[in-house]
Every structure is written in structure tokens, then in C-alpha cells.
Amino acid sequence: GEQVEQLPSILRVQEGSSASINCSYEDSASNYFPWYKQEPGENPKLIIDIRSNMERKQIQELIVLLDKKAKRFSLHITDTQPGDSAMYFCAASVNYGSSGNKLIFGIGTLLSVKP
């Protein structure tokens, strides 16, 4: 099936520094790329998303970049805080015509922010 690759799987940064997570996708028709944050024992929650008609989107300390030609997108967290420590998932939408849409997730990045 369609794949979304996500790297790194583990990311450790110092408080106040930046953290970057990179993803790549296969289907050039994918047009929606969300990012989810999952705290331990909780469900994943949407933190930011970008559509294929944009190259950059920022919400406070979160920046998402999309390179459609390279089929890559990335999440950048500036000025990280201990509260940013969590699992992060990228995803890409895949449309299967009469079978509807699917959202394919990467394997996740465990971010640890050290005080």
C-alpha cells in the first residue's frame, strides 16, 4: 500500500532549541498533510495541517513546509518546551475514487525536550 516515511523515530533536543521532523510520501495526488501530537495514554490530536496549494504554514511555534516536487513535508517546532515532549505523527491523504479517502500515517517521532 501507500507509504509515508517519517524520520527520525527518536529526537532529543534541549529546551529552547528547534526540533525538525521530516516526512515523505509516494502518491503525487495526495493533497492534505496533517500533523498529530499524541501524549502518553492519550489519542492523537491535530496540531497543524497544510494543503497542497500551500508551501508554508505557521501556527505560533509550529511551522510546516511542503515541497510537492520532492514529495516531502516537514514540521519544525521553534523554541521547544518540555510540554512539547510527545509522539508526533505525519500523515498524507490518499484518494481512492469510489472507495473514498484514506489517511496514511508515518510511524511516528518520539520527541523529548530536556529542560
Q: Rule CB under 8 A: which residues touch other proteins?
A: 1, 6, 9, 32, 34, 42-46, 49, 89, 91, 93, 96, 99-108
Q: Using CA of residue 35, residue 40, residue 41, residue 42, what is the dihedral sign?
A: negative
CB of 102 to other proteins, least distance (A): 6
Residue 40 phi/psi, 5° resolution? -55, 130
CB of 39 to other proteins, least distance (A): 12
Question: Is 10 or 17 the residue whose CB approaches other proteins more closely?
Answer: 10
Question: Is 53 or 115 the residue whose CB approaches other proteins more closely?
Answer: 53
CB of 88 to other proteins, least distance (A): 11
Question: Is 80 or 93 the residue whose CB approaches other proteins more closely?
Answer: 93
| CB-neighbour burial class of residue 110 (10 A; exposed 0-12, middle 13-18, buried 19+) | middle
Question: Is 65 or 104 the residue whose CB approaches other proteins more closely?
Answer: 104
CB of 31 to other proteins, least distance (A): 10
